[in-house]
Amino acid sequence: MKLQKNVASKALVILACTMPSTAMQAQDLSTYGTTGLIDMPSAATLDDGALAFTSSFAGPTIRNTLTFQITPKLQGTFRYGVIDQYRQRLNENLYDRSFDLSYRINDETQYLPAFAIGLRDFGGTGIYSSEYIVATKSITPAIQVTAGLGWGRLGERNGRASPFTGISEDFGTRPNTSAGGIGETGQLDFDAWFKGDIAPFGGVSWQVTEKLTLIAEYSSDEYSREVSRGLLSMESPINYGLTYAFDNGVNLGASYLYGSELGVRISYVLDPKTSQAPSGIEESPLALQPRSTVASASWNQPNGAHSVEDVLNARLADQGLMLEGISVNGNRASVRIINTRFPAKAQALGRAARIMANTFAPEVALFDVTFMVNGMATTTASLARADLEELEFDLDGAWKSLARTALSDAKPAGPSDKLTGIYPKFTYALRPYLTPSFFDPDRPVRAEIGASLTAAYETRPGMIISGELRRPFYDTISDAVRVSDSVLPRVRTDGVRYAQESDIELTHLTAEYFFRPGENMYGRLTAGYLESMFGGVSAEVLWQPVNSRLALGAEVNYVKQRDFDMRLGFQDYEVATGFVSAYYDFDNGFQGQLDVGRYLAGDWGGTVTVNRAFKNGVKVGAFFTLTDVSFEDFGEGSFDKGITIEIPIGYLSGDPSLNTFGQTIRTVQRDGGARLDIRNRLYDVTRGYRTPSMEDQWSKFWR
Amino acid sequence: MRTAILSAIAALLAGCATTDDATRATAERVLDYAQQTVTPTLQESRYIAAEQAGAPLLKFGIEDLEVVTIGVFDTRRDGIETWLTASGPSFAIEDGFLRNTRGLGDDLMSSDVSQIRAAVLGRENGTVERFMTFIGPEEQTVTRSYVCDIEVRGARDLTVNTLVVNTTLVAETCTSTDQNFENLYWLRESNGKMVQSRQWASNKIGPVVMRDGPNR
């Protein structure tokens, strides 16, 4: 396809580069990567939806943090910290994963400060375990004062007995959160929250210029664990810092901490709501031509050199829209297309509709566009040619065109609709790949980099035979020496052995069949080497009405564990696994998913997933799985959980593309709560073409 | 082909040197789109064909981005003309007034400039409204209204395509709650048609400068 070398895109990348980036000014981020002063938290929040990446270095401590402003008031944080030589007897560093949550209770008013309540490290090894209540008030536009009360680690300096002991004596003593050892990490430390001694903290920040801020704080954290190990020297409760915000969104902080150490912090805050180029930098659509021009076009004349079908095919293909079928009945023309280019489905529709209007003879008054995905007809959009003509330059053209477009569940293609000569289709690609692996204490980031060869053969719509071979060239995953200590069937924890014992990896080789079992229903059958560790058979159905925010699905698989060499052989372990799933697309940008069923290790349970999905396709989410495997048997982390981030390439480049960067980060990969990693689960395949998703990006209909 | 386009661009730019505010900031750099052409897309093919056929040309400049490009006439429907540029973006114009842009990253998606058009072409001082629609955060359509003062600034001589043209300069000063900009229109004395203009398109794009080219 020509799109890759589109001159327009290249030229306008220059335009895009000169635009302000989508980064936000980093606001008041602490060494913990959350909104705060230097080490201490404040009641400030980031802008709604902001994603902040922070690395900070001070004394023996490194903290890498990802903070997400989940809602305007709720902030969530994942942190990976390293404390040098913390495990002195073992002569080892401490690698620590921790989660924080904070909630701003109220907005600041003229007289009342903003208040926030927060939990730091509420379910990790407990090294940073602390809770706080904090208030922040602007005294002048440039000066903010913060004062708070801390528990746990934040209650160490001059800690006083909790006033809540009057309510219950339990509030007086804080249970030792790390007493259970590594086996109990990951559990919520409810028992300890807001218990034990309380200490005050506070500070002042002064925004000297738009870019420079000076901060001083009184810290209630004595770093007693680090001091007792001789890792740092605590000389003063007062910390000093300055921050400098660069125009490109990078924010640098420098600090003088504990009266003895210099600290550095670098942060980057991303605004997922605003794309690099909100309306895109791809070439313009072709303007609608007057009907008289279209009528006189050669293909609408008797004995024209090209047929309507040829012209339509070429014009759609030029836009990355592949024509699969065409029919004309009376004054209604219908096309079936595969969208290979536009993440905004309304944009694909708008372009296809204009191409139809510029191609079909003027007598054709109604257009149907059906989107085909993996051979399945998903949604049909019906529009009137006269509406297109009326609304092309209308001030409110996007909204009005949505109101006048009917979206319905697509009917199966009749034999006359189908173009001949398209099938069988054969495609292949050779490209590089990168698989990261995180949080091995011996080496926190490992990766496998190599070449991937994929090929797909589509015998007829929906029937796809495909496979992928990988050849790693650089691999540090297989250098790992930690062996699985799992007491469950080792369905995932042998990942290192797969990396070690394979040279050429067959990551999948499957036959897939996609079909529509009925109205609003989708079906999938997959057989073969389903993923890198399992092969077998898989069947799925999904019920998803075109206008519904709710979808329901069921999936059953019978799989056998593959050999470590990732070739054709199997090991002895086999299991039946399956789920019933409910998906809900909330109106406010949140998506929820609940899967209940049997996991790979034979354990029964459920997975809860919540994503915040921005309309431009950026997605930030979290999930956890609880099964009948006990926390003890599960091992480190107690249960499976993690976060996912997905960023479409187009968000960054401004050029439409269906490709995304995606990464799931688990605190630790164990065998409990593990799901089959099957490709093309139906909800992900079809969701984009149902009404709620199409409406999300309808602003691009005329783009 | 490449040489033809390059020399066309060079020739057009040579006629660009005037002292008007509107063009002062432009013309610093011409992007050599032609050299990057591999296989033309349909739009590029149309541009090349129209350019070869001697279709009317308009010069477009984006001041803030220091970009100058040439547009060829593509389509006219219901009085609105669409002009294609070789680099991909297009501009829709009605009697010289910018109705939309496509492909600039922060496009003017649509507009209602009917009051402005009547006042400017009528050369009447006064206060009128304009409406513009953009794509904002979260891909939402955002329509904004502006209150604009129209002021006839008087006669100006302009050099266009090496000829001196007598024009009247009309200014439009617009404000909204948090934005303000000034648009300038040069109307030909002889027939009242717009020969040059500087029109604000969007926050990130800023003003677009348009000037008649040959055949126009």
Chain-chain contact of B106 with A702 (C-beta, under 8 angstroms): no
The whole-angstrom separation of Cα A527 and Cα A521 is 21
The whole-angstrom separation of Cα A500 and Cα A506 is 14
A residues 252-271 near B, CB within 8 Å?
271
Tell me, yes or no, if A50 comes closer than 8 A to chain B by beta carbon.
no
- For B80, the token pair is 């609105």
pLDDT at A560: 98
| Nearest residue to A645 (alpha-carbon basis) of A632, A664, A629, A630 | A664
Tell me, yes or no, if A11 comes closer than 8 A to chain B by beta carbon.
yes
Per residue in A232-291, pLDDT tens? 999 999 999 999 998 888 999 999 999 999 999 999 998 899 887 899 999 999 899 999
Chain-chain contact of A284 with B39 (C-beta, under 8 angstroms): no
Q: Which residue of A has its CA nearest to B46?
A: A286
* Mean pLDDT score of chain B: 81
| Nearest residue to A259 (alpha-carbon basis) of A120, A157, A395, A160 | A157
- pLDDT classification of B49: cutoffs 50, 70, 90: confident
pLDDT of B16 strictly over 60: no
Residue pairs between chains A and B whose CB atoms are closer than 8 Å: 175
Chain-chain contact of B109 with A697 (C-beta, under 8 angstroms): no
pLDDT at B215: 61
ipTM of predicted complex: 0.86
* Strands A238-245 and B97-102, sheet pairing: unpaired
E strand or H helix at B49, and its extent?
helix B42-52
pLDDT at B50: 77
Question: Taking CB atoms and an 8 Å cutoff, what residues of chain B touch A696?
Answer: 139
Q: What is the pTM of this model?
A: 0.89
- pLDDT classification of B98: cutoffs 50, 70, 90: very high
pLDDT-flagged residues of chain A (< 70): 1-27, 124-125, 166, 176-186
pLDDT at A443: 80
Chain-chain contact of A699 with B84 (C-beta, under 8 angstroms): no
Tell me, yes or no, if A273 comes closer than 8 A to chain B by beta carbon.
yes
- List the single residue in B80, B86, B105 with the smallest CB-CB distance to A393: B80
The whole-angstrom separation of Cα A617 and Cα A344 is 9
Chain-chain contact of B103 with A318 (C-beta, under 8 angstroms): no
Residue that is written with structure tokens 């995606």 in the block: A662
Chain-chain contact of B138 with A615 (C-beta, under 8 angstroms): yes
Q: Which residue of A has its CA nearest to B132?
A: A395
- List the single residue in B33, B111, B141 with the smallest CB-CB distance to A398: B141
pLDDT at B2: 39
Q: Which residue of B has its CA nearest to A320?
A: B41
pLDDT at A18: 34
Question: Taking CB atoms and an 8 Å cutoff, what residues of chain B touch A278?
Answer: 105-106, 134-137, 139
Per residue in B69-95, pLDDT tens? 889 999 999 999 999 998 889 999 999
Chain-chain contact of A616 with B138 (C-beta, under 8 angstroms): yes
Residues near A396 by beta carbon (within 8 Å), at least 6 away in sequence: B110, B133, B141, B143
B155 min Cα distance to partner chain A (Å): 33
The whole-angstrom separation of Cα A257 and Cα B47 is 63
* Cα of A137 vs its chain's centroid, Å: 34
- List the single residue in B87, B99, B140 with the smallest CB-CB distance to A8: B87
Segment among A109-113, A488-492, B16-20, B96-100 with least mean pLDDT: B16-20
User: Torsions phi, psi of A583, nearest 5?
Assistant: -125, 135
Helix A308-318 vs helix A345-357: crossing angle, to nearest 10: 150
User: Torsions phi, psi of A416, nearest 5?
Assistant: -80, -15
pLDDT at A3: 35
pLDDT at A125: 60
Question: Taking CB atoms and an 8 Å cutoff, what residues of chain B touch A399?
Answer: 141
